[in-house]
């Protein structure tokens, strides 16, 4: 068992998040416990609680890292100055690829149970879990940053649209993309004549026609 002096606080935080990410390759968030994470780290559970408020807090930070990776991957794309639809499709393909490559991390982002008391099974936590209405601003800003990428493209297509319409439409469009990704990683398109990429392309094409 490692000693507390073996790592700094920031190193412990990084180690905890990486350990959780590794465990999520093998099991769902509902099966994850702070004890499992601490064991994988080589530390006691008490050390973990010195870094994070509770398990939902730790998993929220895991989600934040996933959102950051998605954003960085989107930023690496070579976008077209003339084809906003193609840009949106490129973002969607990044999203789909992340879901396929990291299904556990991707599903965790949308698992509301990580913010509920149902995950607090260690009986070592006295703090209440985060609720959906108490997501911290730093986390919400990461979510907004991803939607903003889509909003920019929608505004480029229809510059006179109101901010409200652009914001709403970006969420509507991405709900559709997300649905296809969900069905894809659960192999519910295995007998479909169309690939997930083709379905996403069709969705975006028809959505943009209605948006123009």
Domain containing residue 59: CATH number: 1.10.357.10
* pTM across the whole model: 0.84
Tell whether 6 is covered by a domain. no
Task: List per-block mean pLDDT (blocks of 10 residues) for the chain, which spans 212 residues.
Answer: 68 95 90 93 92 91 95 94 95 96 91 56 38 73 95 96 96 94 82 84 96 88
Residues 6+ apart with CB under 8 A from 109: 63, 66, 67
**Residue 212 has what DSSP assignment?**
-
Per the structure, the complete domain to which residue 177 belongs is given by: 54-211
Specify the residue for token string 């989600």: 63
Domains in the chain: how many in total? 1
Residues 6+ apart with CB under 8 A from 207: 172, 173, 176
pLDDT (0 to 100) of residue 121 = 38
Long-range (24+ apart) CB contacts under 8 A made by 93-96 are: 93/197, 93/200, 94/70, 95/70, 95/177, 95/178, 95/181, 96/177, 96/180, 96/181, 96/184, 96/196, 96/197, 96/200
pLDDT (0 to 100) of residue 194 = 80
- Residue 59 and residue 121: Cα distance in Å, rounded? 14
Tell whether 144 is covered by a domain. yes
Tell whether 158 is covered by a domain. yes
């Amino acid at each position: 068992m490692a000693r507390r002096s073996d790592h700094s606080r920031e190193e412990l935080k990084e180690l905890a998040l990486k350990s959780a990410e590794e465990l999520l390759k093998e099991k769902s968030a509902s099966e994850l416990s702070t004890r499992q994470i601490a064991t994988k780290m080589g530390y006691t559970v008490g050390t973990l609680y010195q870094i994070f408020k509770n398990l939902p807090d730790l998993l929220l930070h895991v989600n934040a890292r996933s959102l950051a990776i998605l954003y960085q991957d989107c930023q690496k794309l070579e976008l077209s100055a003339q084809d906003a639809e193609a840009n949106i499709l490129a973002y969607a393909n990044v999203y789909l690829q992340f879901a396929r490559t990291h299904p556990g991390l991707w599903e965790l982002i949308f698992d509301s149970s990580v913010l509920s008391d149902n995950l607090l099974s260690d009986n070592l936590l006295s703090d209440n879990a985060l609720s959906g209405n108490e997501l911290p601003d730093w986390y919400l800003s990461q979510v907004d940053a991803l939607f903003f990428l889509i909003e920019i493209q929608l505004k480029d297509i229809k510059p006179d649209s109101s901010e409200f319409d652009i914001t709403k439409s970006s969420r509507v469009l991405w709900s559709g993309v997300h649905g296809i990704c969900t069905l894809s990683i659960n192999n519910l398109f295995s007998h479909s004549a169309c690939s997930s990429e083709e379905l996403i392309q069709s969705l975006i094409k028809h959505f943009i026609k209605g948006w123009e």
